[in-house]
Amino acid sequence: AQKVTQAQTEISVVEKEDVTLDCVYETRDTTYYLFWYKQPPSGELVFLIRRNSFDEQNEISGRYSWNFQKSTSSFNFTITASQVVDSAVYFCALSHTSGTYKYIFGTGTRLKVLA
Amino acid sequence: GAGVSQSPSNKVTEKGKDVELRCDPISGHTALYWYRQSLGQGLEFLIYFQGNSAPDKSGLPSDRFSAERTGGSVSTLTIQRTQQEDSAVYLCASSLDGRVGDTQYFGPGTRLTVL
């Protein structure tokens, strides 16, 4: 079965804390892509990152970093020194060969960063 | 204006009325997708267009829902005889060609409220 699990429904942190959002996926395909999107209160999903299954290098972009581990089927997202503007719902998604264009989305993690 | 645009941003209608939601994808993107997001829920796939054709309508919840795309660009999602359970945010996305791993870019959504 193809599936994306975001077990954390809601996380609250205090500003400047680091926070990690978990994403665990299931797929039988060897070629697949993983994505993270941010949905702020305004509602629009904002693309953050795309990672293919052959590239396990971790990526850092400013305060954001992603840890892709095929051994545990996880693609976790860490925000360092969180800010109030990071408050949003974050979605992890999977695009796999047998699904072609279809994304499988996780149910999202709501992050609240308190001032 | 390079992003996906949707109109209207908000729509309030009475039960039983028909509504039309519009999506204008990123120029040059051949693939277009409609999703539905109910309050506090994840994203539910509705329909996928490649050019003007819709090879996958599997997500449309009932025959009251239909969609078309003309000129390989603008798409309209029509809901006939709206019901209260149709209340949700309807999100449109587009991508370059709909292949595996193609990044989908989302519009701001249309919030539909059926009274």
How confident is residue A34, by pLDDT bands cut at 50, 70 and 90?
very high
Structure confidence by residue, pLDDT tens digits, A60-84:
899 999 999 999 999 999 999 999 9
Confidence of residue B30 (pLDDT cuts 50, 70, 90): very high
The number of residues making up chain A comes to 115
Residues 6+ apart with CB under 8 A from A65: A58, A59, A77, A78, A80
CA distance B33 to chain A (A): 9
Interchain contact, B42 vs A107, CB within 8 Å? yes
Of B56, B98, B106, the CB nearest to A45: B106
In chain A, residues with a C-beta closer than 8 Å to the C-beta of B100 are 31-33, 95-97, 99-101
Tell me the shortest Cα–Cα distance from A38 to chain B, in angstroms.
11
Tell me the per-residue pLDDT of B53-86, one tens digit each, with 9 for 90 and over.
Answer: 887 888 899 999 999 998 889 999 999 999 999 9
**Residue predicted with more confidence, A57 or B5:** B5
User: Rounded to 5 degrees, what are φ and ψ at A45?
Assistant: -75, 125
Q: Which two tokens stand for residue A33?
A: 């892509």
Three-state secondary structure of chain A: CCEEECCCCEEEEECCCCEEECCEEECCCCCEEEEEEEECCCCCCEEEEEEECCCCCCEEECCEEEEEEHHHCEEEEEECCCCHHHCEEEEEEEEEHHHCCCEEECCCEEEEEEC
Q: What is the pLDDT of residue A100?
A: 61
Q: How far is CA B1 from CA A25, A35, A57, B27, B105, in A?
A: 34, 24, 34, 10, 13
* pLDDT of residue B1 exceeding 70: no
- Interface contact flag, B31 A101, Cβ < 8 Å: yes
Inter-chain CB proximity B100 and A103 less than 8 Å: no
Report the alpha-carbon angle A84-B41-B36, nearest 5: 110
Q: How confident is the model at residue A99 (pLDDT cuts 50, 70, 90)?
A: low
pLDDT of residue A68: 95
pLDDT more than 70, % of chain B: 99
The predicted pLDDT at position A58 comes to: 86
Judged against a pLDDT cut of 90, whether residue B92 lies above it is answered with yes
State mean pLDDT over A7-22: 97
Paired tokens of A24: 């665990």
- For residue A32, the chain B residues in CB contact (below 8 A) are 100-101
Of B99 and B6, more confident: B6
Residue A7 C-alpha, separation from nearest chain B C-alpha, in angstroms: 13
CB A110 within 8 A of CB A11: yes
Write the single-letter amino acid at A105: F
| Chain A residue with the nearest C-alpha to that of B59 | A102
Residue of A35, A44, A108 with shortest CB distance to B108: A44
pLDDT in tens, A43-53: 889 999 999 99
CB–CB contact A100 B91 (8 Å)? no
CB contact under 8 A, A50 and B100: no
Mean pLDDT (chain B, rounded): 92
- Judging by beta carbons within 10 Å of its beta carbon (0-12, 13-18, 19+), is residue A85 exposed, middle or buried? exposed
